[in-house]
């Protein structure tokens, strides 16, 4: 069982279930996003295996063998404490996989210290600002295309807003003021070892996550995946 912390409209949870077959529980504080996520899961025929709940990601109402938080932990106060507390509620050898937008422009060492401040073990840390920059350029290109199609004044306004936002973000990324980090935290070692945790597909799912980009609309064919895989570090 995997928890999607701050699942938004559930695209990633659905894509992961389709790729790996794992059960996923998505948690988000926005009731509208959860309602939409449920609708999408039903439409994708994945509803029994994927559940969505309105809840605070800092205290998910279930335990799991692994969790991921994509661009959601930067919205909570004191993220390191939250990450540490979440890591204690994940069964070893699980992991928490996180993508995190940092607006302070911290260098690698400083960011690692920031995450580890709560007492967690950071397993991998990568600067993936480039990915974020690519997505930004795609959004800007879509806005320029929209402008070329001579939209209504409201459409023009939206496109100009997107373009100015993307130009601002691109400048922050170039100057190193805005960075997107991807990291994995090891589950709290104090928990009792649960052999069943090996039988769930948590790590398989987490291995699928680095490929995470704009949702593929659930078009990826279901691939029967073995639910027992080596640890993430074996890659
Ligand atoms: C930028 S969106 C990311 C959504 C999704 N993870 C994705 O990558 O597409 C951040 C999400 O985190 C949720 N969120 C932020 N703080 C939260 C909290 N304390 N508890 C639950 N959800 C939260 C927001 O409602 C929002 O859906």
CATH for 6? 3.40.50.150
pLDDT of residue 135: 84
Distances in Å between the alpha carbon of 228 and those of 33, 50, 112, 199, 205? 32, 20, 29, 6, 11
**Beta-strand relationship, 95-102 and 179-186:** antiparallel
pLDDT for the residue 131: 85
Closest atom of ligand 1 to 33 CA is 27
What is this structure's pTM?
A: 0.78
Residue 160 in domain: no
Mean pLDDT of the chain: 81
pLDDT at 199 over 70: no
Q: Which atom of ligand 1 is nearest to the CA of 56?
A: 20
Counting the structural domains of the chain, the total is: 1
Over residues 76-104, mean pLDDT:
91
**Centroid of ligand 1 to alpha carbon of 152 (angstroms):** 32
Residue 87 lies in a domain: yes
pLDDT on residue 213: 34
Q: Is the residue at 168 inside a domain?
A: no
Which residue has its alpha carbon closest to ligand 1 atom 16?
Answer: 75
| Span from the CA of 228 to the centroid of ligand 1 (angstroms) | 29
Encoded tokens for 17: 């279930």
Domain that holds residue 209: 2-128+178-234
Determine the pLDDT at residue 63: 85
Which residues lie below 8 Å from residue 66, measured CB to CB, with a gap of 6+?
A: 2, 3, 90, 94, 95, 96, 97, 187, 200, 202, 203, 205, 206
185 in a domain, yes or no? Answer: yes
Residue nearest ligand 1's atom 4 by CA: 8
Residues with a CB atom less than 6 Å from ligand 1: 6-8, 12, 28-30, 33, 56-58, 70-72, 75-76
> Does residue 78 lie in a domain region?
yes
pLDDT tens for each residue of 54-86: 999 999 988 888 999 999 999 999 999 999 999
Q: Is residue 162 part of a domain?
A: no
- Does residue 94 lie within any of the structural domains? yes
Asked if residue 221 has pLDDT above 70, the reply is no
Whole-angstrom CA distances from 179 to 22, 108, 230, 232 are: 30, 10, 30, 23
> Which band of pLDDT confidence, cut at 50, 70 and 90, is reported for residue 188?
confident
Distance 153 CA to ligand 1 centre (A): 31
Token pair recorded at residue 131: 């990915």
């Amino acid at each position: 069982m995997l928890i999607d912390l701050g699942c938004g409209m559930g695209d990633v949870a659905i894509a992961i279930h389709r790729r790996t077959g794992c059960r996923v529980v998505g948690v988000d504080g926005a009731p509208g996003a959860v309602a939409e996520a449920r609708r999408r899961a039903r439409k994708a025929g994945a509803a029994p295996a994927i559940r969505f709940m309105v809840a605070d990601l800092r205290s998910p109402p279930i335990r799991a063998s692994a969790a991921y938080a994509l661009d959601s932990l930067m919205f909570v106060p004191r993220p390191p404490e939250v990450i540490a507390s979440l890591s204690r509620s994940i069964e070893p050898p699980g992991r928490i996989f996180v993508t995190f937008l940092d607006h302070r422009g911290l260098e690698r060492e400083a960011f690692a210290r920031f995450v580890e401040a709560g007492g967690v073990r950071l397993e991998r840390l990568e600067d993936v600002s480039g990915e974020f920059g690519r997505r930004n350029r795609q959004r800007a290109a879509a806005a320029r295309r929209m402008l070329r199609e001579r939209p209504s004044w409201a459409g023009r306004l939206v496109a100009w807003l997107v373009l100015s936002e993307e130009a601002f973000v691109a400048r922050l990324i170039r100057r190193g003021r805005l960075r997107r980090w991807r990291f994995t935290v090891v589950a709290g070692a104090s928990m009792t070892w649960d052999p069943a945790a090996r039988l769930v597909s948590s790590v398989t799912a987490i291995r699928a996550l680095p490929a995470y980009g704009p949702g593929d609309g659930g078009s990826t064919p279901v691939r029967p995946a073995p639910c027992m895989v080596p640890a993430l570090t074996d890659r």
